[in-house]
Amino acid sequence: MDMGGDNSLLAMLPAGPRSALQPHLTRVSLVQRQILWNGHQSITDVLFPVTALVSIVGQAEKGEDVEIAAVGRFGMVGVPVFLGDGQSSQAAVVQLPGEADRISAAAFREVAAHQPELRRVLLRFVQAFVTETGQSAVCNCHHHAERRLARWLLTCQDRYSRGEFPATHEFISQMLGMRRATVTGELGKLQTAGLIRATPGRIILLNGEGLEKLACECYRIIAGEYRRLLGPDAR
């Protein structure tokens, strides 16, 4: 396969670790709402999204799941494997469909153990990822629904590399931990303001600058950290 693919972490790697990973990578298609793993399950594969977007979701006993991070083309799904464990207390769910490069957890551990440049690049991603999960906690506790929704929509656009994507009100409410009626009302406000167009099962972003002005500072903090650690195009 072509290792010059679209996942930016893979593209950042020097020739040595890229060549070491290449024989183990398989391009796979991910479908929306596909569960890659649930909390406390063994993680069998590491994925580098190319056109898909994966949500890392904190789970509660009563089903009150909330997204704590979104992983797209600038990231890796399977951080616990890289950190030396094979499980996570969170789940990984495909938020938006597309393709990813997949490697088994066992093969990934073997390559990473012998490739310091791979570990260096991934540690920079992990630092940005930790910032995102922490800032998401602040956002979910303190910021108004409208501002949180604007941040979420912008993040989807950045990580999915397009301004139009499938999303139902029910799914957005699950990811943001909001009531469905709240999501419907806030989407209506954004549409009236000319910032988005919401059709059944699909969201189209019309005015990114307007959304960014409306979004809480968490969007700028997280995007800035990804750019600082992974390059000017990363968000």
79 with 146, same domain?
no
Query: Mean pLDDT of successive 10-residue segments in the chain (235 residues)?
Result: 67 94 96 93 96 91 81 96 91 95 97 96 96 91 92 92 89 89 95 94 94 94 94 84
pLDDT of residue 22: 94
In a domain, 127, yes or no: no
Task: Let me know if residue 89 belongs to a domain.
Answer: yes
CATH number of the domain encompassing residue 56? 2.60.120.10
Last residue of a domain, one of 53, 83, 115: 115
Alpha-carbon distance values, 113 to 30, 84, 110, 119, 120 (Å): 28, 10, 5, 8, 12
DSSP 50: S
CATH code, domain with 216: 1.10.10.10
Measure Cα distances from 90 to 34, 47, 81, 84 in Å: 15, 16, 13, 16
Domain end point (choices 51, 80, 115): 115
Q: Enter the pTM of the model.
A: 0.91
CA distances for 138 relative to 34, 72, 106, 143, 150, angstroms: 27, 22, 35, 8, 15
Range of the domain at 21: 8-115
Position 168 in a domain: yes
Report the domain count for the chain.
Answer: 2
CA–CA gap between residue 211 and residue 207 (Å, rounded): 6
Tell me, yes or no, whether 87 and 154 share the same domain: no
Instruction: Give the pLDDT confidence of 60-119 residue by residue, as tens digits.
Output: 766 678 899 999 999 999 999 999 988 899 999 999 999 999 999 999 999 999 999 999
186 part of a folded domain: yes
